[in-house]
Structure 1
Amino acid sequence: MIDTQAMPRYAAITLGSNSFNMLVAHTVGGKPTVVAKYKRKVRLAQGIGDDGVLSDEAFERGIDCLTMFAQMLDKEAVDRQHVAVIATATLRNISNAQAFKDAALPILQQPIEVISGMREAELIYQGMAATTAGSGRRLVIDIGGASTEFIVGDGNKVLFKQSLPIGCVTFNSQFFNEFPFQVLDFEAANTQVKTTLGEYADELRRLGWHGVVGASGSVQAVTELLNHRGQNTSITAEVLQHLQLEILSQDDASMLGIDGIHPERAPTFAAGVAILQALFSLLNIDKLNLSGGALREGVLQILADRVQHN
């Protein structure tokens, strides 16, 4: 019998623009097996000022979360040399990123690696491929808080990757900052997605795909809602149109009148639906399903290989 207690544990920490996540795992049969998950909606991107500086409040929210993660690393008996800390769009963009990294270092005892959008796309695809059943060419869309990654791959081969400044937190601030929401808000978001995606839309359509998977909180929010309602969890244009009508009929900005919406996901729900609607239209998507994993699972696989070869 394998003694799972004796297996070295490792942790992938991802600092997104919306959420901070930590997965703790050990290796079974050559693959990472997750033993604990921790997550907090930090919404870093909400704290970026016009001057590009992360506000003190958002800075502290981030550091408080990392302090909790550090406590959980100790609880889960993870050696700090087996921890990877990866940051994405917000820490790529803010001018006080170094101050945040300096504050985090003594807490986590591992440096934060701020990765490029292209590297993020690669890791998202690796995480999807390792955790999601299916074959053939796939389009992967990961809508984050401040950026969206687009990847087309076949098996383990990446054919296209791009990271663009489209995010549910930033779009929330831009287009859904005044209640009640209006059709014009959705149209403005759609126009922004179309402008940002630009010629990449043609390139993506030319490549084509057999299936589309979404690896993001926005996709998860819709999937959870459909699951709660006992409906098919494949997202379609019709599903998104119904959700838009529900959003527009709300009499409270909390969105909690929508059956099946998770309170944590409610603040950026409208922006996520708007982005998805735009992408369905621009890329002629028939349906989209939730990925089994994304960025943090990709990081976890790298850690598993590193621990195994130590």
Structure 2
Amino acid sequence: MPRLSTLPAYAAITLGSNSFNMLVAVTVAGQPQIIAKYKRKVRLAEGIGDDGYLSNEVMQRGLDCLTLFADMLKKHRVNQDDVAVIATATLRVIANADDFKQQALPILGQPIEIISGLREAELIYQGMVATTAGIEKRLVIDIGGASTEFIVGKGSKVLFKTSLDFGCVRFNQQIFNQVPYQLHHFQQAKMAVSNALLPHVKLLKELGWQSVVGASGAVQSVVSVLNHRELPEIITLKVLYRFRDEVLAQKNQSLNYIQGLSAEKAPTFTSGVAILIALFELLDIDSLNLSGGALREGVLKMLADRVVDER
């Protein structure tokens, strides 16, 4: 087998409303093998003004991250043609998306593709399938910064998919924008989730599922705290209520007295817990497990298939 460093590398870059991610991989035995991961909490959705424009400050934050990614692409000797750059909710809605794309083009040497919410849901599901064992019917939930995707599928087949306009960064701006947080903030979040989800609840429950998988940073944050406390990784309502109570006891937004919660994950932890509680209650979810992968892994698989075909 050739050394991984001698194989041609390719990279999947995803520009989310909360985080920018990059996976660098090579193909081994017909499958992508990741050789490097990069992630930055850019929190793009924080910069959307009342006029619908992304602020210059936050736009620059995003461009600075892409400059870092470009340096890493050179380090791993990735050809510009072997890079896929996919953007989601925030770039779907901002009025100056074209400006961001134009400034990013010379940095990455590859245009940004802004995908629809339904395409995002499809890629999230395929990323989950590629990285998470199981063939049963699953409900996959991806809570992002500005949108949340829901997919029901069995094996590699998608049976239902939708993308709804709520997420952790958006709820930070609309609901969890002052401390101390109170129970009515969580109730307000549940009402917002309920209103968005209402058109789909009946069909979702009719389709049913055998297990629920979370493919988001919100779920990763909860699991990371459970890991730190050496507790089981399975998320239940009991676990979420415990975290809600801990959040309500905090006096500042840093949440620095929540054992095991990193400073990086703290800003969106409260909104993530609130959204998860709402979904558990509205969809009668018993338990949820963390997915092995999501959007970035789905994009990587798509890119890997394309690179193999071209070669």
> Normalising by structure 1, what TM-score?
0.99
Equivalent position SS for 2:107: helix
* Structure 2 residue aligned with 1:118: 118
Matches within 5 A, 1:150-299: 150-299=150-299
AA partner of residue 173 (structure 1): Q
For the Cα contact (< 8 Å) 2:18–2:145, is it kept in 1?
yes
SS class of match (1:235): coil
| Runs of 4+ off more than 4 Å | none
Residue 198 of structure 1: SS of its match in structure 2? helix
The residue aligned with 2:301 is 301
Q: Secondary structure at the match of 2:53?
A: coil
1:306: Cα distance to partner?
Answer: 1.2
What does 1:36-55 align with in structure 2 at a 5 Å threshold? 36-55=36-55
Task: Decide whether the 8 Å contact of 2:152 with 2:159 is kept in 1.
Answer: yes
Partners in 1 of 2:286 and 2:226 — Cα distance? 17
Corresponding letter in the other structure for 2:204: L
Residue in structure 2 matched with residue 105 of structure 1 by the alignment:
105
| C-alpha deviation, 1:5, in angstroms | 2.6
Would the aligned equivalents of 2:132 and 2:291 in 1 still touch at CA under 8 Å?
Answer: yes
State the one-letter code of the partner of 1:227: N
3-state SS of 1:159 partner: strand
Tell me the SS of whatever aligns to 1:243: helix
- Structure 2 gaps, min length 5: none
Matched residue type, 1:242: R
Partner deviation per Cα, 1:86-145 (whole Å, 9 max, x = no partner): 000000000000000000000000000000000000000000000001121000000000
Counterpart secondary structure, 1:140:
strand
Contact 2:134/2:155 (<8 A) preserved: no
- Provide the aligned C-alpha RMSD in A: 0.7
1:6, CA displacement in angstroms?
2.6
Partners of 2:265 and 2:29 in 1: CA distance: 35
CA distance in 2, matches of 1:205, 1:232: 27
SS in 1 for 2:151: strand
Q: What TM-score, normalized to structure 2?
A: 0.99
Residue 33 of structure 1 is matched in structure 2 by 33
Partner amino acid, structure 2, of 1:180? P
The yes-or-no answer on 1:16 pairing with 2:16 is yes
Instruction: Give 1:251 deviation, angstroms.
Output: 2.1
Return the letter of the residue paired with 1:171: F
Tell me, yes or no, if the aligned pair for 2:150 and 2:163 is still in contact at 8 Å: yes
Q: Deviations over 1:248-305 (max 9, x none)?
A: 0012220111001121110111000000000000100000000000000001011111
Letter in 2 for 1:204: L
Partners of 1:123 and 1:212 in 2: CA distance: 17
Give the aligned partner of residue 142 of structure 2. Answer: 142
Give the CA deviation at 1:201. Answer: 1.3
| Structure 1 residues 184-239: Cα deviation after superposition (integer angstroms, max 9, x where no partner) | 10000000000011121111111000100000000000000001101011000000
SS in 2 for 1:12: strand
Q: After TM superposition, give the deviation of residue 245 of structure 1 in Å.
A: 0.2
Cα offset, 1:42, TM superposition: 0.4
Cα separation, 2, equivalents of 1:121 and 1:128: 11
* Identity in percent: 63
1:60 pairs with 2:60 = yes
Distance 2:5 2:244 in 1: 48
Q: Secondary structure at the match of 2:54?
A: coil
Structure-2 separation of matches of 1:258 and 1:243: 8
Q: Could you tell me which residue of structure 1 aligns to residue 73 of structure 2?
A: 73
SS of the residue corresponding to residue 26 of structure 2 reads strand
